[in-house]
Amino acid sequence: MNVEEFREYCLSLPDVTEATPFEKFSKGKFTILVFYVNSHMFCYFNVDDFSNITIKCESSEMAELKEHYQAVSEPFNGDKRYWISAQPNMDLSDTDLKELVRKSYEIVKAAYKREKSDARISSSERKQARPKAKAKYRKHG
């Protein structure tokens, strides 16, 4: 799989956007292309060097993936508790790579839905859940 095929696959997933948010950080030395679902990243890679793709992953699956595929390792730049690095065109088939990306997309999409539903709590529910503040000062009368 080449960089354009991979990009097309990522953009084929519903509600996905792409951006290069690290341009100022990299000072033009490299271009990191990030894919987002609902404003949360699920996958990114260096456009100029398509040798590693960083993908969000369930921590319970990481050890098995690393054991099964030489192409899967700890991420170059990402929290190793939540992300893996996958090297395309090694022992990881295009189908398996797409499946990892699809799972990453689903993880992030599900997390965003939880956040969104938490944000929908009504103001009356928030008032009921919030403990009443104790008065700091007492009136003397």
Beta strands 40-46 and 32-37: pairing type?
A: antiparallel
Could you give the CA distance from residue 97 to residue 25 in angstroms, rounded to a whole number? 28
Lowest mean pLDDT among 14-18, 69-73, 86-90, 119-123: 119-123
Could you give the CA distance from residue 115 to residue 138 in angstroms, rounded to a whole number? 39
Please report, as a single letter, which amino acid is at residue 139.
K
Dmax (CA) of the chain: 81
Mean pLDDT value of segment 18-41: 88
Mean pLDDT value of segment 78-92: 94
Domains of the chain: 3-115 (3.90.1150.30)
pTM of the entire structure? Answer: 0.78
3-state percent breakdown (helix, strand, coil) of the chain, nearest 5: 40, 20, 40
Mean pLDDT value of segment 108-137: 55
- Of the chain, the end-to-end C-alpha distance in Å amounts to 80
114 conformational bin, left if phi > 0, alpha if psi -120 to 50, beta if neither = alpha
Q: At 79, list the tokens.
A: 């929290």
Mean pLDDT value of segment 52-57: 96
For the chain, the average pLDDT equals 84
- H helix count then E strand count, the chain: 5, 6
Q: Which residues pair with 40 in a beta bridge?
A: 37
